[in-house]
């Protein structure tokens, strides 16, 4: 059973370009979570999705950021018109359910660098 | 979710038990304690979680005090590969999976 797969592992974008980060959850997992991590800090929650639905996007910036988890295919975190402050590691996690007794498993992350 | 407090860093000799403390004095009755670790900017790795009782798995043991205001993660025989940042998190039952991450404890295993 493959783990959570994220790609690309590293992404370099110029200011103003778009960044698309992909996450394939573990087999059998229908819950996906995106987190952002700045250097030397803990992870910050961004968004929680189930198949075709955004459940909680309270951690997402209101502009330029969007996320989806289509019926088929990976979850996508999209950042439009990137700025230097978007440079960070973006981690995706998945779980089979949302109960508090259910652990989430993380991917290896995508490191976005905006130049 | 309740806030947690962890020491910023700890050292431990290789082969000894590493005991990582966590304070969660405002924890509620339906909040679980989770531990994750992150090795050098890799993705966080789940270690263990518990509610009231002590828990043990192949990686570690989790000791939760009777009043649930603190807990200790125990790595019984630390190896150099256990060097990582360890995060203690509390999570409300039946909530969306919005883990609130602190700064964690940087554990350094020394040969």
Compute the C-alpha angle A69/A83/A104, nearest 5°. 35
pLDDT class of B15 with cuts at 50, 70, 90: very high
DSSP class of B82: G
Question: What integer pLDDT is reported at residue A39 of this predicted model?
Answer: 83
Closest Cα of chain A to B8: distance in Å?
Answer: 11
**Which chain B residues are within 8 Å of A45, Cβ to Cβ?**
98-100
The closest CB to that of A108, out of B36, B42, B91, belongs to B42
Q: Which residue of B has its CA nearest to A41?
A: B103
Strand order in the sheet with A75-79: A5-7, A19-24, A75-79, A65-68
Helix (H, G, I), strand (E, B) or coil at B81: helix
pLDDT class of B94 with cuts at 50, 70, 90: low
Report in angstroms the alpha-carbon separations of A40 from A88, A95, A110, B53: 11, 26, 16, 32
Q: Is B53 near chain A, with CB under 8 Å?
A: no
Per-residue confidence in pLDDT tens, chain A, 115 aa: 569 999 999 999 999 999 999 999 999 888 999 999 998 788 898 999 998 899 889 899 999 999 999 988 999 999 999 999 999 999 999 988 766 667 889 999 999 999 9
Question: What integer pLDDT is reported at residue A104 of this predicted model?
Answer: 84
C-alpha A87/C-alpha A114 separation (Å) is 6
Question: What integer pLDDT is reported at residue A73 of this predicted model?
Answer: 92
pLDDT class of B6 with cuts at 50, 70, 90: very high
Interchain pair B102, A42: CB under 8 A: yes
Res B97 pLDDT > 80: no
- Residue B37, sorted as left (phi over 0), alpha (psi -120 to 50) or beta, turns out to be beta
Q: Write the pLDDT tens digit of every residue in B41-75.
A: 789 999 999 999 899 999 999 999 999 999 999 99
Question: What integer pLDDT is reported at residue B30 of this predicted model?
Answer: 81
**Which chain B residues are within 8 Å of A55, Cβ to Cβ?**
96
DSSP E strand stretches across chain A:
5-7, 10-13, 19-24, 31-37, 43-50, 53-56, 65-68, 75-79, 88-95, 105-106, 110-114
């Amino acid at each position: 059973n493959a783990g959570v797969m994220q790609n690309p592992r590293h992404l370099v974008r110029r200011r103003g370009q778009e960044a698309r980060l992909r996450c394939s959850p573990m087999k059998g997992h229908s819950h996906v979570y995106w987190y952002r991590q700045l250097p030397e800090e803990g992870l910050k929650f961004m968004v929680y999705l189930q198949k075709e639905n955004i459940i909680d996007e309270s951690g997402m910036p209101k502009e330029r950021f969007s996320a989806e988890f289509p019926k088929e295919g990976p979850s996508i975190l999209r950042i439009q018109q990137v700025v230097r402050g978007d440079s960070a590691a973006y981690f995706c996690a998945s779980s089979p359910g949302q109960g508090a007794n259910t652990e989430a498993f993380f991917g290896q992350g995508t490191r976005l660098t905006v130049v | 979710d309740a806030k947690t407090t962890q020491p910023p860093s700890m050292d431990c000799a290789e082969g000894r038990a590493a005991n990582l403390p966590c304070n969660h004095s405002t924890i509620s009755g339906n909040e679980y304690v989770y531990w994750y670790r992150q090795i050098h900017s890799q993705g966080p790795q789940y270690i263990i979680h518990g509610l009231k009782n002590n828990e043990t798995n192949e990686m570690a043991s989790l000791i939760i005090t009777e009043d649930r205001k603190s807990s200790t993660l125990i790595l019984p025989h630390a190896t150099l590969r256990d060097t990582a940042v360890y995060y203690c998190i509390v999570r409300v039952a039946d909530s969306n999976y919005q883990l609130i991450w602190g700064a964690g404890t940087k554990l350094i295993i020394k040969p």
